[in-house]
Amino acid sequence: MTKVINNSAPLTRDHHYVPRFLLRPWTRAGILWGYYKGVPRADLRVRKLGVGAFCKQLDLLSLKASGLRPDALEREFFGAVDDAGAKARDALLRGETLADADQRSDFGRLLLSLDARRPPVVAKLRNEGAAALRSSVDLDEEVIEAMREHGVTQAPSAYFEEKTGQSLDDRALLMMQKLVDNPEVGRRLINAQWRVYRLGSGDGSFLLGDRPLIRTAGYSRDDCVWALPLSPEAVFVAANTEAVAAKLDQATGCELRERINESTMNQLGRYVFMADESNLPFVRERLAK
C-alpha cells in the first residue's frame, strides 16, 4: 500500500465495516432505522440515525507505527475499494451486466472486503496474527544465535520493532489486504454466474444486516452462493455453477425474499435495517428467539 499523499487531511478514526453507500438505500427520508434486540427483555428496539452512525468502530483499522498514517488502511486501501465498488454497484442497479473484467473485479473486491474488515476478523488478525509473527521470529534459532553473536539479548521481535520503528501488530493488520486480493477466492467469485434479482410490487422487500455479505458454503464448493442486497428491491447473487444459478432463476420473488432475509437474520451481528414495515413481524419474531 502506498503512503497517503495528503498528510494534512484530518485523521479518520471512525472506521466503517459496512460502507455508508451500501446502507443508504435503506434510509427513510435520509434516516436509517436500525432494529436490534433489547436487553434484558429481548424486545424489539429501533435507533433512527444517519447512515454514518451505524456499522462503525473507533480505530478499527488504525495503524500504530508502520510509517503510514494511522488511518492509511481505512482511507487509502478500503477507500479505493469502496469507491470502485460503489461504481460497480451503481452499474448493477442500472441493469448493466458488468461484462468488463475490471468492473467485475472491483465488485468482487468489495464483496471480499466486507468479510475482511468485520470487527471479529480484524481482532483476530491483530491478536493471533501478530502473535504468530512474533513467534515465528522469536523462536527462530538462527535469528537468536545471530543476535547473541552481536550481544543482543532482546527478543528478536522487540529488537526489530525498536530498531525499525515498525509494529508487528500493524504488519499483521495489513495482511487483510491479502484477504481482499486473494487470487484463488477472487477468481472463483469473478467467474461465477452473476445475477441481479428484483422484487415485484407484491413481493415485499429485502432486509440489510450489519453483516451484509451472505455466503451459503465454502467458496470452492459447487453449491456455494454469494448474495448481497443492493436495495430493498434488488439483490446481487453469484452462484458457482450454472445448475445452481438455473434453480435460483426459477424462484419467485417471494421465495427469494424469504431466503435472503432468513440468511440475513441468521448471521446478524446486532442491527438489521428495514426500509418499510413489511418485514416487522418477521424481524420481531426472529429477534425474540
pLDDT band at 213 (very low <50, low <70, confident <90, very high): very high
Tens-digit pLDDT profile for residues 247-275: 999 999 999 999 999 999 999 999 999 99
Highest average pLDDT, of 53-67, 102-116, 170-184, comes from 102-116
Query: Residue 160 contacts by C-beta under 8 Å, 6 or more apart in sequence?
Result: 137, 166, 168
The pLDDT score that the predictor gives to residue 163 is 66
Nearest CA-CA partner of 118 in 41, 271, 16, 29: 16
Task: Name the average pLDDT for the chain.
Answer: 90
Residue 67 in this model has a pLDDT that exceeds 80: no
How far CA 237 is from CA of 64, 108, 118, 277, 281, in Å, comes to 38, 12, 21, 24, 26
How far CA 57 is from CA of 156, 170, 203, 216, 265, in Å, comes to 32, 17, 35, 27, 21
Residue 3 in this model has a pLDDT that exceeds 50: no
Separation between Cα atoms, residue 160 and residue 124, nearest integer Å: 22
